[in-house]
């Protein structure tokens, strides 16, 4: 993905702590919205559909799909890493996010959002 195509990435950069707090306060309902928006960003960064909107919605409601969502998000972080020059650091996060998605999905969302926010740090 060329640097000029960064303009095609949708802007979604809430504070990661806010994602964690709203996830708890809304009993996970905020994470359905967050899944949809973060999937759109990750798909735009990858230049292909990594996470479908259906998977993003179902991940907020169904436990096994939730784990799959975080696994896909972890695999898409490699593309985010290419844009922020941290490819080696981010490309192996699928397993970590899968395990966190099983036990602590709010924390997994916070980690993904933190890396997504790095896309907008230079603006």
Is 61 domain-assigned?
Answer: yes
Under DSSP, is residue 12 helix (H, G, I), strand (E, B) or coil? coil
Q: Residue 91's Cα: distance from chain center in Å?
A: 13
Average pLDDT, stretch 112-117?
96
Q: Is 11 contained in some domain?
A: no
Tokens standing for 87? 């490819």
Instruction: Band the pLDDT of 5: cuts 50, 70, 90.
Output: low
For the chain, the distance separating the N- and C-terminal CA atoms, rounded to the nearest angstrom, is 18
Q: Whose CA is closest to 109, among 32, 52, 57, 43? A: 32
Q: Is residue 44 part of a domain?
A: yes
| Owning domain of residue 102 | 16-120
Query: Is residue 5 included in any domain, yes or no?
Result: no
Q: Is there a domain that residue 69 lies in?
A: yes
Q: How many domains does the chain have?
A: 1
Helix (H, G, I), strand (E, B) or coil at 21: helix
> Taking the model in full, what pTM does it have?
0.91
Mean pLDDT for the stretch of residues 78-105: 91
φ, ψ of residue 26 to 5 degrees: the values are -95, 10
């Amino acid at each position: 993905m060329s640097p000029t195509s960064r303009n095609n990435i949708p802007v979604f950069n809430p504070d990661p702590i806010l994602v964690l707090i709203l996830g708890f306060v809304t009993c996970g309902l905020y994470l359905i919205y967050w899944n949809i928006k973060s999937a759109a960003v990750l798909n735009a960064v990858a230049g292909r559909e990594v996470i479908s909107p259906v998977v993003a919605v179902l991940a907020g409601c169904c436990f096994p799909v939730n784990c799959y969502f975080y696994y896909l998000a972890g695999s898409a972080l490699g593309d985010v890493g290419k844009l922020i020059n941290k490819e080696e650091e981010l490309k192996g996060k699928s397993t970590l996010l899968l395990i966190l998605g099983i036990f602590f999905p709010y924390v997994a969302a916070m980690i993904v959002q933190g890396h997504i926010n790095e896309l907008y740090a230079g603006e």
